[in-house]
Amino acid sequence: MSVIDILFRVDSICKKYDKYDVDKHRELNASSDDAFARLYSAVESQIDAALRKSETASVETSRAAVVAMNAEIRRAKARMMEEVPKLQKLALKKDQGLDIISEGLDTLKNLAHDMNEELDRQVPLIDEIDTKVDKATTDLKNNNVRLKETLNKVKGCNVTLD
């Protein structure tokens, strides 16, 4: 596999996993597309509201108001408990997505290792080619000098013949 093939594969893998780039999604405000984040945020706000009601109920002096608030808190708790399986399911999907990302990163790591090995193999070859090119350049310069000398001799012979 050539270095160019490896680079193209790395690029295609990066594009494939681009949707998991958290920083990029934050910049694009893409968190609204994340069902888990939306549901988690909703449940978290419901928990905060229930905690505030509980604190209010703890300082309330009217028993009827306390009973009503506790009933609201229990209903809110029941609604939140219905959301827990959905959150678990969405969290599992996120974990599976992370597993896929992990596999992709392992692939990228292996490709980078292969690229390193390929470069390590090619460096001596390039050095050898460089040495041969330098020798060929030197030989060509020497041949050009000798050819010029030969041409000058031939021109010198033609002048004496005329």
Question: Residue 147 corresponds to which tokens in the numbers above?
Answer: 């050819």
What's the confidence (pLDDT) of residue 28? 57
| 3-class secondary-structure state, position 60 | coil
pTM for this predicted structure: 0.46
pLDDT per position as a tens digit, 109-126: 998 899 899 889 999 999
Q: What is the CA radius of gyration of the chain?
A: 38
Nearest to 161 by CA among 153, 107, 62: 153
pLDDT above 90 as % of the chain: 40
Does position 159 have pLDDT exceeding 70, yes or no? no
Question: Residue 88 corresponds to which tokens in the numbers above?
Answer: 């678990």
What's the confidence (pLDDT) of residue 161? 46
